Structure 1
Amino acid sequence: MANFTLDDVRQRTYKARDAWWTVLLVDPLASRLVKFTANRTRVTPNQLTVGALILGLAAGACFAVASWPWLLAGALLYHLSFTLDCMDGKIARLKGTGSVFGAWLDYIFDRVRVLACAIALMGGQYAATGNVAYIWTALAVVFLDMLRYMDALEIYKVRTQMRNTLTAARREAHDLEQAAQRANGGLPADDDLLSAEEAIGDDPDADLENRVIGDDPNVALQQGFNKRFPWYARIRNVLMAGRIRPHLVSGIEFQMGVFIIAPIAAAVVSGAIIPVVAISGAGLLAFELVIIYKFWLSSRDYSRNLANLNAKIADYRTQLPTDHHQEAATPVTTNSG
């Protein structure tokens, strides 16, 4: 058996930044369970993923009953389900046993859990009250969960394409600069090229939930946002000290608002589910709009940086002898899809 320590678990599996719900309410328990599971059992990450789904479906069964003791039981089971869901990734990182199939399974089962629990929670309330608003609320929950993850996937994909394009442009400009220096007996180095590789930075707010990505406020693609909101970097750094990302209402907090806070509130105050879900949904939409706004600003910075790099490439080509032009790489263009 292995002999991982709690420090091993924290250092190897904790994300540099994570959702505040995970940092404050899940990691303290999950890290200890991961230590025990990794050292004393042969449980695999995929088995934990399946276990998380089973607990999630059990939570849905409790929600469907609709009475207050079952709502509380469902909220507890959902929290435990999410804890297992966090453990599978931690075990994979700790033991190096992650896989592409495991990541796919985790993603699909998360969506199945949300769908099942939304139908069960709102369907149970509709059966108990006859209020059709619960049916529309279930549809809204599923739609918002889908919107959040589709948006995150697409923005992550596009930002990766943008980063690769700028990196290629930077390399081509650097190679042409060196060739021009050799052909013309030495030219002053262009300092702008040294930072071109950093022209786009990862955005944790648009990040998938299971990735660890930095967000340097000084990178070129964040200039537009940081000029408009200089206070953002200060708040971000304060949250960063506690491993909390500034995206305070992400898909995780939205799910916990719907499937933990709302059932607990309904067990205390009748009819509290819809207002709590509405507040959670409004928070999610507000932060998604911030992500879209930041992405729009980044796209403008990207276009400006790429245009500057291509201008440098064209300039360096004019400094090369004619016989070198055929050896130069083709101009780098903006990704179209």
Structure 2
Amino acid sequence: MRAYSLNDVHATRKRKDSWWTVYMVDPVACRLTLLVANHTDITPNGLTRLSLVLGMGSAVCFAFGQLVAGAALFYVSFVVDCMDGKIARLKETGTAFGLWLDYVGDRIRVVCCAIGLAIGQYAATGDDAYIMLGAGVAVLDLFRYVNAPQMKRVREVVKENRLESRANAGPVVPRQPRPPGMPRPPRPPRVLTVRRRLGRFLIRHRVRTHLISGIEFHAAVFVVAPLVGVAALLPVSIVAGTLLLLNEVFLIYRMWLFTRAVPPVPRPENAQRVPA
């Protein structure tokens, strides 16, 4: 069995990831991945199944009102969930079925934890707001993960249309070279705004520029709020859900601008229309 190093594990991390994963999960997940890779034969799918079992344990704890235990199990479940991809890339043992299992397991874990949280707090308080909380968390999560692959599909179609439009436009006229001796026009000084500086800082540290995503939403609802206490469940979940929804609206708006930038590809008159 090959002895892997921590640098080998670090090389398997995603080029850009959520800030919660980068700062709160990867430092633990990478060291556990090194231990598992060097001393066990656990497969990525085995880790995915373990993550789901831990997630179900978290849901049970939430259902019985054990918020701290539920939060701890959810965090450990997410750490293990981050390890399966690292093991797959490290040992090159990833499979297409493993991708499906990881995706579906994440959705099951979140929905069950949302239901458990709603049941536990409704049983303790009788407040219908917690039922709405569980439903809202489940719906937002499902919308996020259904919407993301559809937006990716739209972008791929637009890129294909762009390439086809360029091909139909004919050859590109080369730009005339600058005559010898003519000075290059001065470029205006590039001012690094606060936004640019922040973007460069985040990229250097592998953090995605949109700071609220499904992962941060899960962390806020199932880890941070339960650890703070019952009083934080509703306000923290509402704030996190609102930020997630605003982020999704922003991404949809950017996708809409992206689609408007590319003209539709003209169809030949004799082309048959393919039904959608």
Deviations 1:56-95 (A, max 9, x none): 00111111111xxx21111111000001111111111111
Give the match for residue 243 of structure 1. Answer: 206
Kindly indicate whether the alpha-carbon contact (under 8 Å) linking 2:122 and 2:130 is maintained by their aligned counterparts in 1. Answer: yes
Quote the Cα distance in structure 2 between the aligned partners of 1:288 and 1:63: 28
Q: CA RMSD in A?
A: 2.5
Give the secondary structure class of the aligned counterpart of 1:49.
helix
Kindly indicate whether the alpha-carbon contact (under 8 Å) linking 1:64 and 1:120 is maintained by their aligned counterparts in 2. Answer: yes
Give the match for residue 241 of structure 2. Answer: 281
Cα offset, 1:233, TM superposition:
4.2
Kindly indicate whether the alpha-carbon contact (under 8 Å) linking 2:161 and 2:262 is maintained by their aligned counterparts in 1. Answer: no
Quote the Cα distance in structure 1 between the aligned partners of 2:81 and 2:168: 43
Once the two structures are superposed, the pairs formed by residues 218-297 of structure 1 within 5 Å of their partners are 232-266=195-229, 270-297=230-257
Quote the Cα distance in structure 1 between the aligned partners of 2:145 and 2:204: 26
Kindly indicate whether the alpha-carbon contact (under 8 Å) linking 1:9 and 1:34 is maintained by their aligned counterparts in 2. Answer: yes
Cα offset, 1:167, TM superposition:
2.9
Cα offset, 1:302, TM superposition:
2.4
Task: Give the 3 Å change call, closer, same or farther, for CA 3–20 of structure 1 in structure 2.
Answer: same
Cα offset, 1:297, TM superposition:
1.3
Give the match for residue 43 of structure 1. Answer: 42
* Residue 88 (1) aligns with residue 92 (2): no
Give the match for residue 5 of structure 1. Answer: 5
Give the match for residue 157 of structure 1. Answer: 153
Give the secondary structure class of the aligned counterpart of 2:253.
helix
Give the match for residue 194 of structure 1. Answer: none
Cα offset, 1:38, TM superposition:
1.3
Pairs aligned (count) = 257
Kindly indicate whether the alpha-carbon contact (under 8 Å) linking 1:45 and 1:88 is maintained by their aligned counterparts in 2. Answer: yes
State the TM-score, normalized to the length of structure 1: 0.71
Cα offset, 1:271, TM superposition:
2.9
Cα offset, 1:96, TM superposition:
1.2
* Residue 189 (1) aligns with residue 174 (2): yes
Give the match for residue 58 of structure 1. Answer: 57
* Residue 177 (1) aligns with residue 162 (2): no
Gaps of 5+ in 2: 177-192
Q: 1:105 aligns with which of 101, 114, 132?
A: 101
State the TM-score, normalized to the length of structure 2: 0.86
Deviations 1:188-213 (A, max 9, x none): 4369xxxxxxxxxxxxxxxxxxxxxx
Amino acid at match of 1:158: V
